Amino acid sequence: MKLTHAAIAAAFAAVAGVASADDQNINVTFVPDPDSTTNFSAGWGITHQAAGAFTDTITFTDGVSGTFASSLVTVGFMDQTNIDFTSVSVNGQSYTLGATGPIETPYFEPSVVGGPLVLTVTGIAAPALTAGTAISASYAGTANVTAVPEPESYALMLAGLGVVGLLARRRRAEGRH
C-alpha cells in the first residue's frame, strides 16, 4: 500500500513538473525620447529554458500611459528555438497575431491605453518537443508610448495662449494711438 501512495505522489510530481511553465515576470522602464517631451520607448527580451506552455508578464514600471504601440518577434527555425504565441495583450486589449511558424510577429496598433501598463504573453516554447525539455527559445519586444498630457497641462497652455493674445491686442491698441 505504501508503494501505491509513493507511485501516486510521483505521478502528481511529474504532472506538476510538466504543468509548471517557464514563466517570466520582468519590469521594464520606458526611456524618454531626447527630442520630445511626450514620446517614450522600451525594449526587452525573454528566453525560455524549458519546453512547454508559458505565461510571461511584462510590467512597465514608470506609470507612462497614452497612445501605445508595440510589437514582438521570434525567429526559431529549429525545434529547440521555436515559440508559438497563443495570445498577447496589454491591459486586456489583444494584439494581432499572425500564423504560427518559425517567424512570428504579433503587433498592437496604436491605441490609447490607460496605465499602469501590463503586457501578458502566452505561448508554447518548443511546441514539437516534450514539455520540460531543456531548450533556448527567445523573443524580443518593443513598445512606444505618446503620453497624453494631464488636464493641468492643457489649462497652463490655454492660460499661456490667453496671455499672448492679450499682449498682441495691447500692442495693436498702442500702435493706433
CB 35 within 8 A of CB 11: no
The pLDDT, as a whole number, for residue 18 is: 41
What is the per-residue pLDDT across 66-118, written as a single tens digit (0 to 9) for each? Answer: 999 999 999 999 999 999 999 999 999 999 999 889 999 999 999 999 878 99
pTM (2 decimals)?
0.74
The pLDDT, as a whole number, for residue 16 is: 37
How many other CB atoms sit within 10 Å of the CB of residue 83?
A: 25
The pLDDT, as a whole number, for residue 165 is: 67
Query: What domains can be seen in the chain, in order of their start residue?
Result: 22-163 (2.60.120.380)
Mean pLDDT of the chain: 83
- 105 vs 118: CA distance, rounded Å: 19
pLDDT band at 13 (very low <50, low <70, confident <90, very high): very low
Contacts of 96 (CB under 8 A, 6+ apart): 106, 107, 108, 109
Closest CA to 80 of 133, 139, 31, 24: 133
